[in-house]
Amino acid sequence: MKILDFLDPKTIITELKSTDKKGVLEELTLPVSDITQIEHKELVRVLIEREHLGSTGIGNGIGIPHGKLKNLPSLILGVGLSRKGVNFDSMDKKPTHIFFLLLTPDNSTDLHLKLLARISKILKEESFKDKILSSSDKDDVIRLIQGIDEEF
């Protein structure tokens, strides 16, 4: 399984403008709403409900907001980068800079967990995190993910 199998270039945002958690979730889900034709408010609602269970800000500058939707036809990923960092209620209380959004259909628990594990694994690579955070455009992000997809 490769991350690029699920990542649509339209869902990559290299310059998040938002300065808070809700704003980041709204910004990350806009292109997903366009692609899936699922109401933007519904996508944000699902992610905020998940955040109430515990923050998806896992620390070390990383957030992996995720959720499940009944009417989602297939798994979809998004990537967002915040140069300044955002208070995402991370476990380590530090700002979050790199976001991987993961939305899955309600019935795909196995795939959801496998992809979460894969994303977590690649984000443990410090050199990858440094490079992706300094990406200037979507093509850079795709090349970096493609390179690390090959390694793991």
Report how far residue 121's alpha carbon sits from residue 115's, in angstroms, rounded to the nearest whole number. Answer: 10
How far is 12 from 55, CA to CA, in rounded Å?
A: 22
Domains of the chain: 3-151 (3.40.930.10)
pLDDT in tens, 36-70: 999 999 999 999 999 999 999 999 999 999 999 98
- What confidence score (pLDDT) does residue 152 get? 67
Which tokens belong to 89? 């209620």
User: Is residue 136 a contact partner of residue 24, using CB atoms and an 8 Å limit?
Assistant: no
Taking residues 12-23, report their average pLDDT: 97
Q: What is the pLDDT of residues 62-106, one digit of tens each?
A: 999 999 998 898 999 999 999 999 999 999 999 999 999 999 998
